[in-house]
Amino acid sequence: MQRASRLKRELSLLTTEPPPGITCWQNENQLDNLRAQILGGADTPYEKGIFSLEIVVPERYPFEPPKIRFLTPIYHPNIDSAGRICLDVLKLPPKGAWRPALNISTLLTSIQLLMAEPNPDDPLMADISSEYKYNKQLFLLNAKEWTEKYASQ
């Protein structure tokens, strides 16, 4: 019960006061299955891209983090080809930094930040990570190309 009322509150806030560049809604009226869109940030290779994400809220939320993955392919060192995201706030301690005080809005904002500031030292995609570290121009070119190919409306 606690989970449902908290989710309703969070969704209502995401609807009335969404973080800039982020939208989130229920998928097919299921409270534990959400969809979100993140707009690629200005001055990033993802600029003008619209990236769709799937959010699955576990039974034990907020004591367990939601599972979030990209549905839109994205060229990024911390996001793999299945859309999985390597980000500490998406994992439980001791490996992760998830706390029940965090919410879906915070997570989506963190993902948006990760898109703008990749962490090549904790990659899911080793090849993209080394490209980011040692040939940034090529990385930017590839990321921009993928954005135009997969995330343009």
Q: Would you please indicate which residues are annotated as catalytic (active-site) residues?
A: 86
Query: 83 exposed, middle or buried (CB, 10 Å; 0-12, 13-18, 19+)?
Result: middle
Question: How many C-beta atoms surround the C-beta of residue 39 within 10 A?
Answer: 18
Peptide bond into 73 cis (omega under 30): no
Question: Containing H/E element for 34?
Answer: strand 30-39
Dist. CA 79–CA 96, nearest whole Å? 16
Contact yes or no for 49/40 (Cβ under 8 A): yes
